Amino acid sequence: MKTSLAAVPYFWTKQAYQDFYLQVADTDIDTVYLGETVCSKRRSMTMQDWIEIGSLLASKDKQVVLSTMTLLEAESELNYLKKIVQQGDFLVEANDMSAIQVANQASRPFVAGNAINIYNNQSLGLFNRLGMTRWNIPVELGQEDLKPVIPQAKALGVELEYQVYGRMPLAYSARCFTARHHDLPKDRCQFKCKDDVEGIPVRTREGDSFAQINGIQTQSGKVSNLLNHWQKLHAAGIDYARIVPVAPDTTLQVIQSLTHAIACNQPQVDFTDDTREYCNGYWFQMAGLEMIA
């Protein structure tokens, strides 16, 4: 089984990104996704900065994939998307239909991000004909949901990727929840999301985890954790175990622990973190916030 690291969903400084990926380059992760997927106002990194980091990672035998935005709202964002697709060095992760259309028109293969609504064999076949070579499966699809779809994906030669760690992406909005939290208009947000390494937690009145605010994105309050079930995912036909970054140090620990367990074929991943609440119910056909040991 291979491992992948999703694009960082949070807004970090240029130095923080560079330091993080410099350390990622020395791990045994197989594939690394790069780029901004949430908000186009986050401009600490230029296209050239991402290309340079990608070149560094590629020199360390990592497959590099450039990720596109999930919600496009302006012509400038579409133009930036076209630049990502037109660069010829790296594969592209398409996170909305405009990216798929641009990639298809350019005859470029792509990874379908988990915001793309693929839930059955008909959709799988359609996107494969458009150029999809890998499917990052939506987090709400469990093992029983996937049983009819995995054989079709294998027959088409489509690689399958499933999230095993990280907060789940739940929704995107034209509104910026971080700006609203700070009583600021979206157009004058003061880049407040840079103050939060992994977003702002939201709890119910009873104090339970509810969600995580990340700009225009809403994430799960609990962190999805299927690390100790990686062998079950592999046996089901999943090709890539996907890690979605949280804080840099924790993410690096997860990468090292998971890649070591896979290399040694160990069912248990030697990773513990009591500072976060965990869930994995979707894979087991349960409510997503449930946690199966």
With contact defined as beta carbons under 8 Å apart, do 63 and 25 qualify? no
262 belongs to a structural domain? yes
User: What proportion of the chain, given as a percentage, has pLDDT over 70?
Assistant: 100
Q: Domains in the chain: how many in total?
A: 1
139 belongs to a structural domain? yes
199 belongs to a structural domain? no
- Which amino acids are annotated as binding site for [4Fe-4S] cluster, given as ranges? 39, 176, 189, 193
pLDDT band at 292 (very low <50, low <70, confident <90, very high): very high
N-term to C-term CA, the chain: 21
Question: How does pLDDT run across 22-69, given as a tens digit for each residue?
Answer: 999 999 999 999 999 999 999 899 999 999 999 999 999 999 999 999
Q: Which two tokens stand for residue 83?
A: 């630049």
pLDDT band at 180 (very low <50, low <70, confident <90, very high): very high
209 belongs to a structural domain? no
- Domain extent, residue 28, equals 2-167+223-284
191 belongs to a structural domain? no
- Which amino acids are annotated as binding site, given as ranges? 39, 176, 189, 193
29 belongs to a structural domain? yes
269 belongs to a structural domain? yes
Q: What dihedral angle (degrees, nearest 10) is formed by the CA atoms of 137, 200, 69, 66?
A: -70
Alpha-carbon span 98 to 68, nearest angstrom: 10
Question: How does pLDDT run across 203-231, given as a tens digit for each residue?
Answer: 999 988 899 999 999 999 999 999 999 99
140: CATH: 3.20.20.70
Alpha-carbon span 263 to 251, nearest angstrom: 18
144 belongs to a structural domain? yes
Q: Let me know if 283 is exposed, middle or buried by CB neighbors in 10 A (0-12, 13-18, 19+).
A: buried
With contact defined as beta carbons under 8 Å apart, do 27 and 59 qualify? no
